[in-house]
């Protein structure tokens, strides 16, 4: 396996499986054909034809759209069509920070192929001239990617919270990072990918942060989502990313970006420029 394989695994989108999802005349996502067929049962909320799924024209504002879709989604969750309900609302907007046209339950975001945003925090420790990375092991009871390795702290970006405030909240819950320390996280870019998974489409963008941690800081999970933490030399993390499928897929991208920015993955790597291009799709 190679770094490019890790990138390819997050970029397996097949446009033939989807049709556009349109809100207020704008394409906001993609719906797979099978899910589109299910939405035909709700003609007061969705106009479904062979070419697209549009939110009904009578739904003209944020509140009406969000309420009508929420009712449909709760019904589909009751039927088991939507799994892993989170009770967390994500914006549907034309770009990060733009005024949202509506909000939807997080678990349904991939079913509408709406771009989601999130944060990934690489937590690292300087040990003389060496760098070590804190790595998490996801709980075996987590609905998504149970038991897999994870970056230090990460989280989806719900509606109505600033990026840094969300980072501070996630860092507190996932790793017991004091707010003042979490706020030292430094934004260093973003990765993006186009992934098909469980019948959905995830055209996601994750803002990447680096957080240098004191040598005596020991993360401790407080929300039950991470069962263990490991402090590994960057070289060991690189080998694990490259040679195993142990990390949650999109975490590989945030880690590869770290390896590049810190000079561990160098232009001597024959795929260097392809890897770079692959991190932002």
Q: Choose one: 47-55, 59-67, 94-102, 193-201; the region binding a second copy (CB under 8 A).
A: 94-102
Q: What is the dihedral of CA 91, 92, 94, 100, to 10 degrees?
A: -60
Q: How near is the Cβ of 161 to a second copy at its closest, in Å?
A: 13
Side-chain-facing half-sphere of 57: CA atoms under 13 Å: 1
**Residue 207 in contact with a second copy, rule: CB under 8 A:** yes
The closest alpha carbon to 124, from 183, 210, 253, belongs to 210
The closest alpha carbon to 20, from 113, 96, 109, 89, belongs to 113
**Residue 190 in contact with a second copy, rule: CB under 8 A:** yes
Vertex 59: Cα angle to 56 and 65 (nearest 5): 105
Q: Choose one: 24-32, 100-108, 203-211, 230-238; the region binding a second copy (CB under 8 A).
A: 203-211
**Residue 276 in contact with a second copy, rule: CB under 8 A:** yes
Binding mask 30-49 for a second copy (x = CB under 8 A): --------------------
Rule CB under 8 A: choose which of 187, 197, 198, 244 binds a second copy. 187
Please, which residue, 199 or 203, has the CB nearer to a second copy? 203
**Residue 143 in contact with a second copy, rule: CB under 8 A:** no
**Residue 128 in contact with a second copy, rule: CB under 8 A:** no
State the Cα–Cα distance between residues 81 and 192, nearest whole angstrom.
27
Q: How near is the Cβ of 84 to a second copy at its closest, in Å?
A: 27
**Residue 4 in contact with a second copy, rule: CB under 8 A:** no
State the Cα–Cα distance between residues 255 and 7, nearest whole angstrom.
11
- Do 120 and 209 touch, CB atoms closer than 8 A? yes
Kindly state the DSSP code that residue 54 receives in the 8-state scheme: E
Q: How far is CA 80 from the centre of its chain?
A: 23
Q: Which residues bind a second copy (CB under 8 A)?
A: 95-97, 163, 186-190, 205, 207, 210, 260-263, 266-267, 270, 272-273, 276-277, 280
């Amino acid at each position: 396996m190679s770094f490019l394989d890790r990138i390819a695994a997050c970029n397996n989108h097949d446009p033939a499986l989807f049709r556009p999802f349109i809100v207020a005349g704008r394409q906001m996502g993609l719906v797979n054909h099978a899910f589109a067929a299910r939405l035909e049962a709700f003609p007061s909320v969705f106009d479904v034809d062979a070419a697209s799924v549009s939110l009904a024209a009578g739904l003209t504002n944020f509140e009406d759209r969000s309420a009508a879709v929420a009712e449909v989604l709760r019904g589909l969750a009751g039927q088991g069509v939507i799994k892993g309900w989170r009770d967390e609302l994500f914006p549907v907007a034309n770009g990060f920070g733009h005024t949202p046209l509506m909000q939807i339950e997080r678990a349904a975001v991939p079913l509408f192929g709406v771009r989601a945003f999130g944060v990934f925090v690489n937590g690292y420790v300087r040990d003389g001239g060496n760098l070590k990375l804190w790595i998490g092991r996801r709980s075996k009871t987590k609905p998504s990617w149970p038991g897999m390795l994870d970056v230090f702290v990460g989280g989806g970006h719900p509606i109505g919270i600033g990026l840094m405030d969300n980072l501070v909240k996630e860092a507190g819950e996932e790793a017991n990072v004091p707010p003042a320390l979490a706020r030292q996280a430094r934004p260093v870019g973003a990765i993006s990918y186009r992934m098909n998974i469980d019948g959905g489409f995830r055209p996601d963008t994750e803002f990447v942060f680096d957080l240098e941690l004191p040598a005596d800081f020991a993360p401790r999970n407080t929300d039950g989502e991470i069962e263990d933490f490991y402090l590994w030399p960057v070289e060991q993390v690189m080998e694990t990313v490259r040679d195993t499928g142990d990390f949650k897929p999109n975490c590989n991208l945030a880690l590869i970006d770290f390896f590049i920015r810190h000079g561990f993955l160098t232009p001597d790597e024959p795929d260097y420029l392809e890897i770079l291009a692959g991190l932002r799709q």
